[in-house]
Structure 1
């Protein structure tokens, strides 16, 4: 008995989708593309080369990156850099807190925290740097009402943006 046209279309759609997905060796439904030869990642503690009043930024960025790479990819975290397939090294190189807008009485109405991070995502299997660049992000806060807590919150928001940008660049550069 011949196949009806809707049944044939459905079958062709399923076969086409299967072929399409089988050709995407690195695709993940989170949008992260990781080559099949990479199974493990090492993310050493971020070095903070700045002097800033907000403590623990290096640890915070490392935690954010571990969260993204472990929870949104199939990569397994390893503490041993020498045995990892890929290593992500990061270093906070700049921390700035400056007025972004000034009120009529020449006081800062909004301050901007800008953080710059140097990142290197190195594929040790193929002996090549997949990403080697600086990432920068900022967040604003009201220094008169929020004070140091506002600066801390702005710094964390900037770090979250940096972590998102590093993750997106590292997992879409294939």
Structure 2
């Protein structure tokens, strides 16, 4: 075979495998076992004693949005109907000075949130992982401090949800 015929043969061979589905690529970057089609995400209890309302709701909504919108999984309404379960609790919440202005007054605060979570396929005994996830965000204390703290908490929980989603669906 000459060089052109060999290239043509190799190209056709590769195209055949690509079209036949032997090479599988996911544009979302997720790697979920084929037999896993649904996930159950029970309420993440807030055990942080933060005094900030609805942290659990914010986290649960962020997790549900990621798993439903960024993967092929559907949301199960119970553990018995699910192929995977993601559960845990909000363990720690801190809100402390991040930077000081010239007159030794706080100009920015940082909210840090720690969540303990476990991800498990229901057909397996052992969990895929059980880890602590952390998120943080800062806000300006000179503007609306209550709304600023709430927005910072939302951003920190968004980071936590991103990291949990990535750990649950990555094949690494």
Mark yes or no: TM-score above 0.5: yes
Q: Within the alignment, does 1:65 sit opposite 2:63 as a pair?
A: yes
Question: 2:22 corresponds to which residue?
Answer: 22
- For the residues of structure 2 that align with 1:138 and 1:168, how far apart are their CA atoms? 17
Do the aligned residues in 1 keep the contact of 2:111 with 2:153 (CA within 8 Å)?
yes
TM-aligned CA deviation for residue 115 of structure 1: 0.5
Q: Within the alignment, does 1:118 sit opposite 2:116 as a pair?
A: yes
- For the residues of structure 2 that align with 1:110 and 1:125, how far apart are their CA atoms? 47
- For the residues of structure 2 that align with 1:39 and 1:128, how far apart are their CA atoms? 19
Question: 2:13 corresponds to which residue?
Answer: 12
Question: 1:42 corresponds to which residue?
Answer: 40
TM-aligned CA deviation for residue 86 of structure 1: 0.8
- For the residues of structure 1 that align with 2:171 and 2:160, how far apart are their CA atoms? 16
Do the aligned residues in 1 keep the contact of 2:114 with 2:134 (CA within 8 Å)?
yes
Question: 1:51 corresponds to which residue?
Answer: 49
Give the alignment partner of residue 97 of structure 2, picking from 92, 96, 99: 99
Give the alignment partner of residue 85 of structure 1, picking from 83, 86, 89: 83
TM-aligned CA deviation for residue 12 of structure 1: 3.0
Deviations 1:111-170 (A, max 9, x none): 000000011001111222012000001000011113110000000000111000000011
Question: 1:165 corresponds to which residue?
Answer: 163
Deviations 1:79-118 (A, max 9, x none): 1112311110021000100001112211111100000001
Question: 1:154 corresponds to which residue?
Answer: 152
- For the residues of structure 2 that align with 1:146 and 1:16, how far apart are their CA atoms? 58
Q: Could you state the TM-score of these two structures normalised by the residue count of structure 2?
A: 0.88
How many residue pairs are counted as aligned between the two chains? Answer: 169
Question: 1:136 corresponds to which residue?
Answer: 134
Q: Could you state the TM-score of these two structures normalised by the residue count of structure 1?
A: 0.87
- For the residues of structure 1 that align with 2:124 and 2:35, how far apart are their CA atoms? 9
- For the residues of structure 2 that align with 1:32 and 1:140, how far apart are their CA atoms? 30
RMSD between aligned residues: 2.1
